[in-house]
Amino acid sequence: MKITVFEQNGSGQQKIKGIELYGTDVEINEIVSIDVFLPDFVEDPELYITDSFSADLVLDYLTHLDLSQYLVSLCKKKKIPVVSSGKKNEDALAPFTCCGLGHHKGLGEYGEQFGFPDYVVTLEGETILSLDVVRGAPCGASWEIIQHITGMDIEEAMSSLPREVQYRCSANPSRFDPVSGKSPVHYAGYVHRAALKKAIEHARELLDKE
């Protein structure tokens, strides 16, 4: 699966690194970096983004909304799915955070491996013996916290894991959701905690059947 990334001033670097490190059968075949000063309003976005790109999926990490909206319109014409996390655009998949992406058709291996986190836990009593990632955040936080959680008791892990995720989150903490009142950083911690809780409940069910 070939992925094209659009970013500004390094805005996608952490996620690019995470995808390359933890992804399987996904290839970032092109990175389009726009590293010039831009006015508040970009009248000619085509000067910065051409339609020459080709991919199975586009990841939009652009920070300027005019460029992002133009990119999405190009992807729609080219019939390429685009993930624009943290933005609002009906023609793109736009979860609140990268780790808030649900399962959607047409996202191939990327959609199977990256998005809303999913863990598998092995327990011994109330201790977490191992933690494996089935699906995680493209920034890599879902994998990077494993060494900090393995060996902890469940109660400690449930409070420690979201903090560890938040330390590594690259989202803008000042961008609050007016409905939930949460910032993307808080949201990232919340969805990872929810994933751990679900994995622990499943592990307990398996132990009860033994």
CATH number, domain at 205? 3.90.1010
Say which CATH number the domain at 18 has. 3.40.50.2300
Q: Give a yes or no: residue 141 inside a domain.
A: yes
Question: Are residue 90 and residue 122 in the same domain, yes or no?
Answer: no
pTM of structure: 0.93
Question: Are residue 122 and residue 88 in the same domain, yes or no?
Answer: no
pLDDT digits (tens, 9 = 90+) for 143-181: 999 999 999 999 999 999 999 999 998 877 666 665 556
- Domain span at residue 188 reads 118-209
Mark which of 43, 61, 94 sits at the end of a domain: 94
pLDDT digits (tens, 9 = 90+) for 20-78: 999 999 999 999 999 999 999 999 999 999 999 999 999 999 999 999 999 999 999 99
Question: Are residue 84 and residue 126 in the same domain, yes or no?
Answer: no
Q: Give a yes or no: residue 112 inside a domain.
A: no
Q: Compute the distance between CA of residue 100 and CA of residue 111 in angstroms, rounded to an integer.
A: 11
* The pLDDT value given to residue 206: 87
Q: How many domains does one find in the chain?
A: 2
Question: Are residue 132 and residue 182 in the same domain, yes or no?
Answer: yes
Is the per-residue pLDDT at 17 higher than 80? yes
Question: Are residue 192 and residue 129 in the same domain, yes or no?
Answer: yes
Q: Give a yes or no: residue 190 inside a domain.
A: yes
Read off the pLDDT of each residue in 120-132 and give the average, rounded to a whole number: 95
Q: Give a yes or no: residue 19 inside a domain.
A: yes
Q: Compute the distance between CA of residue 199 and CA of residue 179 in angstroms, rounded to an integer.
A: 27
Q: Give a yes or no: residue 104 inside a domain.
A: no
